Each structure stands twice: as structure tokens, then as C-alpha cells.
Amino acid sequence: MKNIHHIQSASELDTIIQHSTQPVVVDYWAPWCGPCKALNPILESAADELGDEAIIAKVNIDEHPQLARKNDVGSIPTLFYFNKGRIRHRSTGITDRSGIVTRVRSYATASEPQAV
């Protein structure tokens, strides 16, 4: 899927967040995490529904622990929602597809992002 990015570096993640014209959802996960495995097909389904409306980025915290520390990720899965380079929302645990899609689409109608 073209709008799910497996992050390879901190600079790649920063570039996506800061320069994307679409909302960005960042999933902090690990391959050994059961809830992360359960969330993955939900994210894929949300990505399919959203198409070009959003970018979903996945950060494996085992490969990039510095990104988890930098963003104070203490539990996984954790989703960060960004719009216009700014954090809009953060959630921990499994989220349903409609919740992800509704939140992302709400940013398209928001005039100015508000930090959460």
C-alpha cells in the first residue's frame, strides 16, 4: 500500500510529518506485541479507506527506540495523529477503523490545528 510507510530513520519520519499535505498517523509498534498485531489489519483497512487522504507511518520501536523515547511512548501500540506538522491527538491501545478514519477526516474540515 502506497500510503503506509515503514519508517527507516528519524529524519524520514520528521520529513513525512513536517512536509505532508495530508494528515499523518504514526503507529509505534513492535513485532512481539500482541495488540500491535491486532491493530495492523485495522490500520491497513483504514489506509485502504482513506487512500490519498492520509499517510500512515509505522515505527518499529525495537529498530528505533530513540523515536519512542523522543515521543514519550511508554506503551504500545500508540498512535499519533498529525496535521500540518502538528500533533493533534494521541491514543494508546487498539482503536477501531472508523475511529481512525473519522479523526483523520475531521482534520480536513478543521481551519487551524489545535494541540491536544
Q: Return the active site residues.
A: 33, 36
Phi-psi region of 28 (alpha: psi -120 to 50; beta: other; left: phi over 0): beta
Peptide bond into 77 cis (omega under 30): yes
Taking CA atoms, 95 is separated from 8, 15, 80, in Å, by 24, 25, 12
